[in-house]
Structure 1
Amino acid sequence: MPGTERIWRALCLLGACWLVPCAQAELRLYAWERPPLVMRDAQGVARGLVPELLEAMFARAGLAYTVEFLPLQRALRQVQQDPQARSCVVLVERQQEREARFLWVGPLLISRLALYARADDALQLGSLPQAKAWSILSHQGSGAGEYLQRMGLQVHYSNHEALNIGMLRHQRARLWATSRAVAEQGAGGLALREVLPFLTLMEDLACHPHLPDEQLQALRQALQALYAEGQVQALYRRHGVALH
């Protein structure tokens, strides 16, 4: 009977999975552009320091993955709503409000966040309260921006760091909250000056809270091995970026 045949075929496939490990479903990674750490080339392919680190980590873990670019806030929502629980966001700042909402693989980066101004701007600040007179640029979903808002400062959010760089370049704002790596290499040639450091955060891979444990542990162990072998440090040196 046709129904019996279908059942028998399904049982044979199930049996084959016991004999030969079935291919694991690939993980979907959502990335957001943050030069020089994560960029998208003309073909839409992820380039930069972090994509290279992910490639080494997933190869070591024996896992397949794809990368799709989305704004950070949308990417975080996509992962939380993933019915298959097989997705992560690339490079998310860890903060208390997010800890329980994701599973974490890291650190991919330890970021020293600061307020930056144009190099030709003489603005001096001794503390964050002194910055209350100015609107501070940040990217949507940034832990830096949320921290500054909790301190009572004015924060202007953009979905892309290039918009913040443009506002600084055209003197529509005086301060930008970002990491040293982005300020030094991702400012599009605009000379910047650190005005006031204010926070250090870890930036990790933020995964669905029900990501299969074997995949989570494989990724964590792979990253630890890359650190132990010095490959992460070598990658950062090759890109001219400090680990913090």
Structure 2
Amino acid sequence: MTVKSGPEVPAPLKSIKRVAQGLLLLALMPPAVASDKLYIYTENYPPYNASTTGQGFAHNAGDISGICSDMVKEMMARVDYDYVMKMRDWSLAYNRVQGRENHALFCTARTDEREDQFQWVGPLAPIKWTLFAAPDSDIKISSLEEARQYTIAGYKGDVMSDYLVGEGFEVIMGVSGQQNPRRLTLGQADLWVTDGLVGPLVAEEAHGITGLRPVLVFRQTPMYLAVSNETDPGVVEDLQQGLDEARESGALDSIVSRYQR
């Protein structure tokens, strides 16, 4: 017995039908899970953020510790988002986060100049903008204006360094602050601008230098998680709620106490 088939569909129409079916399937599919994942960057900036491996970079949260890092982890434990935490040079991380959805960066100083560049979650911990001199230096200053006569070591992308450059100070810029204590002892710079806790720690751990002289604290700024403007504001609200809950529970105070010497 011969079974008659229906009229043959022309090849071009078959292709159109397949495309239409594919588009329909895509429309019915739920959003990709990856779109809910957050990519969070930081830098090696002990005691706020530090690599547990001794390297200046890290590829996952398990290899990153520190005051701000632990605060962010505590916040993420209270929200329903997957995340990846990575450690990179500050300037690279800072540029990568901007313009990308679901990307964030910490610990970022929240300043007037940066206010519109990000959405903000915080505060986390404050930094003290400090000018350090070498242990044997006799430099004494009572105001920032008096520091204009000196060469200052800083690093690219750092809010304190950028501020001084904007104010017309002579700043030697590197890609990180790790070598700046050596610049002081070698006479390559007169002062080093960094956080009051970070300076002595980096000097001792990276170079065995002790006795750095803090000659001036000229500003204090709260640090935040800076979230890209392309990220859904609802995500930012969830993160802020998670951080607020962590603070109210006493978890953030406990983190700070673990790092106090």
TM bracket, shorter-chain basis: 0.7 to 0.9
The one-letter amino acid paired with 2:104 is C
Inter-CA distance 5–140: structure 2 relative to 1 (3 Å threshold)? same
Q: How does 1:53-132 map to 2 (within 5 A)?
A: 53-82=71-100, 85-132=101-148
Inter-CA distance 149–23: structure 2 relative to 1 (3 Å threshold)? closer
Inter-CA distance 9–99: structure 2 relative to 1 (3 Å threshold)? same
Question: Are 2:217 and 1:197 aligned?
Answer: yes
User: Percent same amino acid at aligned positions?
Assistant: 24
8 Å Cα contact 1:31-1:69 kept in structure 2? yes
SS at match of 2:218: strand
Residues 2-34 of structure 1: per-residue CA shift (max 9 Å, x gap):
6676567556644xx8xxx96762111122211
Question: Are 2:243 and 1:223 aligned?
Answer: yes
| Structure of higher CA gyration radius | 2
CA distance in 1, matches of 2:21, 2:230: 35
More strand by share: 1
The one-letter amino acid paired with 1:213 is P
SS at match of 1:91: strand
The one-letter amino acid paired with 1:29 is I
Flag structure 1 segments of 5+ consecutive residues without an equivalent: none
CA distance in 2, matches of 1:157, 1:181: 20
Query: Which stretch of the first structure deviates more once superposed, 89-98 or 143-152?
Result: 143-152
SS at match of 2:161: helix
The one-letter amino acid paired with 1:54 is V
User: Cα offset for 1:78?
Assistant: 1.5
2:12 corresponds in structure 1 to: none
Out of 209, 232, 243, the position equivalent to 1:212 is: 232
- Equivalent pairs counted in the alignment come to 234
Residues 141-196 of structure 1: per-residue CA shift (max 9 Å, x gap):
12212222333321111211112122124332221111112024332242212101
Question: Are 2:46 and 1:35 aligned?
Answer: yes
Question: Are 2:36 and 1:25 aligned?
Answer: yes
The one-letter amino acid paired with 2:243 is L
1:52 corresponds in structure 2 to: 70
Question: Are 2:182 and 1:162 aligned?
Answer: no
Inter-CA distance 212–5: structure 2 relative to 1 (3 Å threshold)? same
Residues 108-164 of structure 1: per-residue CA shift (max 9 Å, x gap):
121111111123322111222221221111121122122223333211112111121
User: Cα offset for 1:233?
Assistant: 1.3
The one-letter amino acid paired with 1:36 is P
CA distance in 2, matches of 1:226, 1:101: 26
CA distance in 1, matches of 2:219, 2:106: 20
CA distance in 2, matches of 1:89, 1:199: 22
User: Cα offset for 1:59?
Assistant: 1.0
2:5 corresponds in structure 1 to: none
CA distance in 2, matches of 1:22, 1:193: 51
